[in-house]
Structure 1
Amino acid sequence: MEPRVELFARIRRDSRVESLGIRALAKRHGVGRNTVRQALTSAEPPPKKPRVRSAPRLGPFRAEIDQMLRADLEAPRKQRHSAVRVAEVLVERHGADVAPSYSTVRNYVRARRAEIAAERGSVAADAVVPQEHAPGEEAEVDFGEVWIVLAGVRTKCHMFIMRLSHSGRAVHRVYSTQSQEAFLEGHLEAFDEFGGVPTRHIRYDNLSSAVRRVVFGAGRVRDENERWILFRSTAGFDPFYCIPGVEGAHEKGGVEGEVGWFRRRRLTPVPEVSSLAELNERIREWEAQDLNRKITGRPRTIGEDFEAERPFLAPLPAERFDPGLPLYPRVDRSALITVRQAKYSVPARLIGRKVRVSLRATELVVFDGRTQVARHERVVERYGQSVQLDHYLEVLARKPGALPGSTALARARESGTFTSAHEAFWAESRKVNGDAAGTRELIDVLLLHRSLRASDVIAGIRAALSVGAVSADVVAIEARMHANGSTLGMHHPHQQPEPVEHRVISLTQRRLTDPAAVIAGLPKDTRPVPSVTAYDELLKRRKKPGKSPAESEGTTA
């Protein structure tokens, strides 16, 4: 059929060019005279009337369906009639041959539910009112599930997002858990990125990290977690808790949409990383790129709106809140503590004592009083371990035979902290000094890492091995020389330093190799031969003054 716009154009043209009458135009174009009159009146055809189906079988049941929908206004949200249930009730009461079809009931319920709600002064559940957000006043927070390939293993993680409502600037951080420590650490990361805190409130779901219990019938009142209250009081902002369930999702629709957008655009396909720290570093780069993005319907970029919003944020608190969960485990005889079904090593001197632990989203910090004694990356897997070789050196100095098969050594080799230089020194030291003494020399070298940089110690090991020295004292001297040479700034930044020749002579090497060959490498000694003649004078007995030799030799009783 010819489109009505083109038909009207042809009728109007024939009337204008050929001056045809209504009857002739209707006959030429095969339409009624009322259509011709409409075309001559307006070039735009009138809208078609929607087709209204009578649904004769529905008529007797309209009042019954309306009664069900009115009863739903007083019923709990999850126990209201769906269209499927309404159709089933009609079939149960009146039989399938009499009751209307499901599609007829569904269309009627869809339209009638909103009308009945309006009659009672209510509105439809999906009705929303557009909002304006003043700069610096509001933000929204949410968690979203994400999958990543972490160190070769497909792992489910949780992405924390805080989004400023005015500018749309958002901060995303991925954690292994959705616990309170991740929740608090995400806030601190976001506040640092924003350079301030929203002045009015931040919108939340009823997360267990903040809310212990929803007080139904009391509006927005919540029974909050005590540590959460302490945190928001320190930071200086108020929470706004959304309606529980899907009904309250629209109250923080900005961050809800941000979760899906970021997951589709940035985390698809599934990213492969060696650690969460690596992933979060990538996310920082993506966030910087997103500052140049425009949100649909806004004339300026996110970065431009954020720069205008930044001055309206409240300043950061003077005291930084510790997001870690405080725990007090006891150190077992293996110098391990157990936290959330994972084990972490601490210095062996703390065996049998209780220590204070700050369990954070990505790490675990151990304190002895106010002194930090250990720091570990948080273990994700259940029953996992994080063991550091440095924590067992004092024990291994007394039990050197325990080192080769120790878990601490295996973990140090896996992490790369026990390098090929350490392996070479250990092998040469055992060859020269024996297993026990050679291992103790290695342990003395490992203790140097507590006061010197690892690069300096490794340089000292290589310098000592280059001349056959397997003494921890020689390694210490060479390591300090390397540290002084690298920190004193003796070379121009664009000038390559000249290689340093290490002239180390080992006494052990002197004993085990040809003395002439070793001494030949020493500079000529021009000092006089040492003499002990002056000390021999002290051995002579002094004579007492005023007595003869005979008197001094004889004595009287």
Structure 2
Amino acid sequence: MKYRLKEQPTKAGARAGFSAATAYRIEQDPRPPSQKKAPRERRRPDPLAGIFDAEIVPLLQSAPGIRPVAVLDEMLRRHPDLPCNVRRTLERRIRDWRALHGEDRDVMFRQVHEPGRLALSDFTEMDSLAVSVAGVALEHRLYHFRLACSGFEHAHVILGGESYVALAEGLQNALWALGGAPREHRSDSLSAAFRNLEPETRDDLTTRYEALCVHYGMQPTRNNRGIAHENGAIESPHGHLKSAVRDALLLRGSNDFVELEAYRRFIDEIVGRINARNGKRIEAERALLQPLPAQRTSDYEETRVYVTTTGGFVLRKVFYTVPSRLIGHRLRVRLYDDRLELFLGSTALMTLQRGRPGPNGKHGHVVNYRHIIHALRRKPMALLNLVYRDQIFPREAYRLTFDRLLEQLPERAACKTMVELLSLAHERNCEAQLAQALEQCLADGQLPDLEALRSRFEAKSASLPQANVQLASLRDYEALLDLETEVAA
């Protein structure tokens, strides 16, 4: 067309590499071929022509949130002769109608995250991954912490609910691993942090959570209740973290862990790899964080319990056993998410694994047979109808052995034999080895031979080595005295 401004069609076409016929055709119609193509017309009758405007549009106007599949079911009910393969056509037609005439939709506003300003916390369920510890399904969730700007993450395994103790422990672990504190900490409407009394109430922080944020110089905030996408900087990484854990479990080849600490280390390794990918951004933001205080604040609940004559105490609908010498004493208990620390006055006594109530509000039991075995030996028949009988057995082999004893022996003999077996495991410190011996007896269909087991695990007296001492002659000492006299002279 540039040559055509000065030349005839044949010369301009020749210069451009066209034939004369093409040059005259372009002269008559300068449109490109893509614009000359006729629009595609319908090749078959429209199955929705008679009902879309008359029936479907009024339905969409009266119920804006209705799904297209529900509209299809209703149309098939009204018009049985409507073809079943019209679903995709109906969905496209409804989508186009809503784009032109539908309601306004919510808009997500992307935010600029200032370094060192915002961190977010939330809990996420992990039961779908079917993780187990020592063959027992682990019901747990993860506390998830994340910096909105650099993407630093921290995860902590939580065995209980979304309590203040779990929030405080996980948050402080994250801050000390990060090496600084942001200026603002955001969460959703956690009951551990907010009382959630009224939507209009702003100052509804729990006292402990407010003190925790003050200790680290953070301003506590939250998103609007029921609007999770406002915390998108933590909600979306939930899914990425779960996917990373799921992939790592598949690569590992097993969802079972020997102990809980092994699973915690497994989670830490995954989160560490995620942080390594964002290492440069994390280091840049770490320089803008607030310095940490001199020490952590309390991340536990403290209460007092009374040790009853049952050899233990009840706390949060869970019965815990302690050594019987503590009966009648009041103990100070620090309650963590996964453990209890016991104090008598200011003296630390022991740490117990934290238990959880059973289903339907039933009381739970955390029992250590070593605490009560001395008393049970004096009253072996108490084992028969003991409330926490199943929990007293340290391993599954002991429980199965007691069931076998009850089947083949009188109740008194069965209880006495079982108590002696537990006493043997305690006194000889052979709980695991004795469990293996009991498993072998069960496999052979035999009852355990108590005397043989006592001989097998009998404590062997240590033999003292023979020491031959040769006394020096007194003449040697006289020689030393003579030497000292010569030196003095």
Deviation at 1:526, TM superposition (A): 10
2:432 and 2:313 mapped to 1: Cα distance?
20
Q: What is the SS of the residue equivalent to 1:465?
A: coil
1:409 counterpart residue number: 426
Deviation at 1:287, TM superposition (A): 2.9
Write out per-residue CA displacement over residues 363-409 of structure 1, whole angstroms, 9 at most, x where no aligned residue: 211122232211123346853425284x679989x99x998744992
2:231 counterpart residue number: 252
2:147 counterpart residue number: 164
1:201 counterpart residue number: 185
1:448 counterpart residue number: none
Q: What is the SS of the residue equivalent to 2:177?
A: helix
Give % identity.
25
1:132 counterpart residue number: 112
1:19 counterpart residue number: 19
2:39 and 2:350 mapped to 1: Cα distance?
75
Map 1:20-99 onto structure 2 (within 5 A): 20-22=20-22, 37-39=31-33, 45=34, 56-57=49-50, 58-61=52-55, 64-65=58-59, 67-68=61-62, 81-83=66-68, 95-96=78-79
Please report the RMSD computed on the Cα atoms of aligned residues, expressed in angstroms: 4.8
1:539 counterpart residue number: none
Structure 2 vs 1, CA of residues 226 and 183 (structure 1 numbering), >3 Å: closer, same or farther? same
Structure 2 vs 1, CA of residues 171 and 200 (structure 1 numbering), >3 Å: closer, same or farther? same
Q: What is the SS of the residue equivalent to 2:189?
A: coil
Q: What is the SS of the residue equivalent to 1:60?
A: helix
Please tell me the residue identity of whatever aligns with 1:262. Answer: L
Structure 2 vs 1, CA of residues 25 and 114 (structure 1 numbering), >3 Å: closer, same or farther? closer
Q: What is the SS of the residue equivalent to 2:462?
A: helix
Question: Which has more radius of gyration?
Answer: 1
Please tell me the residue identity of whatever aligns with 1:139. Answer: A
Map 1:517-532 onto structure 2 (within 5 A): none
Write out per-residue CA displacement over residues 396-427 of structure 1, whole angstroms, 9 at most, x where no aligned residue: 9x99x9987449928964479xxxxxxxxxx9
The total of aligned residue pairs comes to 384
Task: Decide whether the 8 Å contact of 2:151 with 2:275 is kept in 1.
Answer: no
After superposing the two structures, state which structure 1 stretch, 186-195 or 369-378, moved more.
369-378
Map 1:486-501 onto structure 2 (within 5 A): none
Q: What is the SS of the residue equivalent to 2:306?
A: coil
2:240 counterpart residue number: 261
Q: What is the SS of the residue equivalent to 2:297?
A: coil
1:141 counterpart residue number: 121
2:486 counterpart residue number: none
Q: What is the SS of the residue equivalent to 2:150?
A: coil
Q: What is the SS of the residue equivalent to 1:56?
A: coil
2:447 counterpart residue number: none
Map 1:439-454 onto structure 2 (within 5 A): none
Unaligned runs of 5+ in 1: 1-12, 27-32, 40-44, 73-79, 294-301, 417-426, 432-441, 443-460, 468-500, 504-520, 528-557
Deviation at 1:466, TM superposition (A): 2.3
2:217 and 2:156 mapped to 1: Cα distance?
22
2:462 counterpart residue number: 465
Please tell me the residue identity of whatever aligns with 2:172. Answer: L
Out of 336, 342, 349, the position equivalent to 1:366 is 342
Task: Decide whether the 8 Å contact of 1:176 with 1:380 is kept in 2.
Answer: no
Deviation at 1:355, TM superposition (A): 1.8
Structure 2 vs 1, CA of residues 135 and 15 (structure 1 numbering), >3 Å: closer, same or farther? same
Deviation at 1:20, TM superposition (A): 3.8
Write out per-residue CA displacement over residues 101-160 of structure 1, whole angstroms, 9 at most, x where no aligned residue: 776664455455566676xxxx413x2121111111111222222231211223232111
1:303 and 1:106 mapped to 2: Cα distance?
45
Deviation at 1:316, TM superposition (A): 2.3
1:175 and 1:236 mapped to 2: Cα distance?
25
Q: Does 1:378 align with 2:378?
A: no
Q: What is the SS of the residue equivalent to 2:221?
A: strand
Structure 2 vs 1, CA of residues 264 and 91 (structure 1 numbering), >3 Å: closer, same or farther? closer
Deviation at 1:258, TM superposition (A): 2.0
Structure 2 vs 1, CA of residues 292 and 319 (structure 1 numbering), >3 Å: closer, same or farther? closer
Q: Does 1:287 align with 2:266?
A: no
1:234 counterpart residue number: 215
Deviation at 1:241, TM superposition (A): 2.3
Structure 2 vs 1, CA of residues 63 and 410 (structure 1 numbering), >3 Å: closer, same or farther? farther
1:451 counterpart residue number: none
Task: Decide whether the 8 Å contact of 1:14 with 1:25 is kept in 2.
Answer: no
RCO comparison, higher one (Cα < 8 Å, 6+): 2
1:51 and 1:384 mapped to 2: Cα distance?
74
Unaligned runs of 5+ in 2: 1-12, 359-363, 380-415, 434-450, 475-489
Deviation at 1:60, TM superposition (A): 3.3
1:236 and 1:329 mapped to 2: Cα distance?
34
Structure 2 vs 1, CA of residues 171 and 61 (structure 1 numbering), >3 Å: closer, same or farther? same
Please tell me the residue identity of whatever aligns with 1:258. Answer: P
Write out per-residue CA displacement over residues 57-108 of structure 1, whole angstroms, 9 at most, x where no aligned residue: 3223577346425xx6xxxxxxx5444556677899xx54799977666445
Q: What is the SS of the residue equivalent to 1:312?
A: coil
Please tell me the residue identity of whatever aligns with 1:60. Answer: A
Task: Decide whether the 8 Å contact of 1:175 with 1:361 is kept in 2.
Answer: yes
2:37 and 2:119 mapped to 1: Cα distance?
47
Deviation at 1:192, TM superposition (A): 1.1
Q: What is the SS of the residue equivalent to 1:261?
A: helix
